[in-house]
Amino acid sequence: MAMIEVAGLTKIHETQTEALRVLDGLALEVAAGEAVAIVGPSGSGKTTLLNLLGALDQPSGGTIRIAERNISGLTTAEAARFRNRSLGFIFQHHHLLPQLSVLENVQVPRLAGDWEETPAETEARARDLLHKVGLDHRLQHLPWQLSGGERLRVGVARALLNRPCLVLADEPTGLLDAAATERVAELLLQLNREEGVTMVVVTHNATLARRIGRTLELTQGKLKEVVR
Ligand SMILES: Nc1ncnc2c1ncn2[C@@H]1O[C@H](COP(=O)(O)OP(=O)(O)O)[C@@H](O)[C@H]1O
Ligand SMILES: [Mg+2]
């Protein structure tokens, strides 16, 4: 099954002075369970593309199907529901809540409502994910007591709480050193295998892209496979 099917995707950012055609007839197909890296120069439209795949923004043209569902025309409420149920987002800045422990931060998506598991089930899932990301010994820590790499791991665990079919990551290792980046690459690939979750990872990091394998470069509004 295809997890992502994008055809003819166009995005024009309108400002007061100009209309910027950032994506221009872009096509993308990603199979369920696959992991792909997206690279490209700064300003080439990588974040714009992720925002469209995550139903955070509306395309100017073209179609986006995620898990065989057309998401290009969702209402704001439908898009929010789709994100809460089906997607996980990983950012460079994780927006952890400073007053909540690691274990509580991972359970925050539950507060968005429309959640089917009981509090006990959700906590068990959070503990399992924190084990998978190697933070068993940090459950009661507050965000400021963690290293940058550990905070990112909390963000990764939180992104997986809702058992997403698709995880979208925007330059997740942008603030990490080489050793921490290597560990995060290993972790993302492990979760891709163990949880069967499809991943799209935007990165500037050549090591991370190489580890992920299939790499696409965004230039002039389109994606090209990078052949190694
Ligand atoms: N909401 C917006 N309004 C106007 N221009 C935007 C908006 N978002 C992004 N852009 C412009 O679109 C281009 C691509 O941005 P972005 O998708 O953030 O690139 P990348 O993530 O590859 O660095 C940039 O020139 C940026 O300034
Ligand atoms: Mg960006």
Domain-wise residue ranges, the chain: 34-59+76-225
Number of Cβ atoms within 10 Å of the Cβ of 206: 11
Closest ligand 1 atom, residue 41 Cα: 22
Rounded CA gap, 105 and 88, in Å? Answer: 14
pLDDT value of residue 73: 84
pLDDT value of residue 180: 83
CATH topology assigned to domain 34-59+76-225: Rossmann fold (3.40.50)
Cα-based distances in Å from 164 to 144, 156, 182, 205: 27, 12, 24, 24
Longest C-alpha distance within the chain, in Å?
53
Q: Is 172 in the pocket of ligand 1 (CB under 6 A)?
A: no
Rounded CA gap, 46 and 200, in Å? Answer: 11
pLDDT value of residue 174: 86
Both structure tokens of 132: 């998978």
Q: Is 22 in the pocket of ligand 1 (CB under 6 A)?
A: yes
Q: Is 11 in the pocket of ligand 1 (CB under 6 A)?
A: no
pLDDT value of residue 179: 86
Q: Give every residue of the chain whose pLDDT is below 70, as ranges.
A: none
